[in-house]
Structure 1
Amino acid sequence: MLNPIDVDAVVRDGGASGRVPEQIHSGVAWWLASCFVVVTRANQLVVAHDGHEASSEFFDRMCRGAINARHYACKVYDHGIAKEDELLTAMTALGGVPGMRVKTDSGDDGAQVVTITLYGKEGKPLTDESGLILIRQMISEDQVPIPVNEHARGTIEPYPGVMWR
Structure 2
Amino acid sequence: MKLIILDRDGVINHDSDEYVKSVDEWIPLPGSLEAIARLCKAGWTVAVATNQSGIARGYFDLATLGAMHQKLDDLLAPLGGKIDRIEFCPHGPDVDCDCRKPLPGMFRNLVAHYGLPDLQGVPVVGDSLRDLEAGLALHATPYLVRTGKGERTLAKGGLPAGTLVMDDLAAVADDLLSR
Interval of TM-score (by shorter of Structure 1 and Structure 2): 0.3 to 0.5
Higher relative CO (Cα under 8 Å, sequence separation at least 6) belongs to 1
TM-score by length of 2: 0.37
- Compare the two structures and name the one with the higher strand fraction: 1
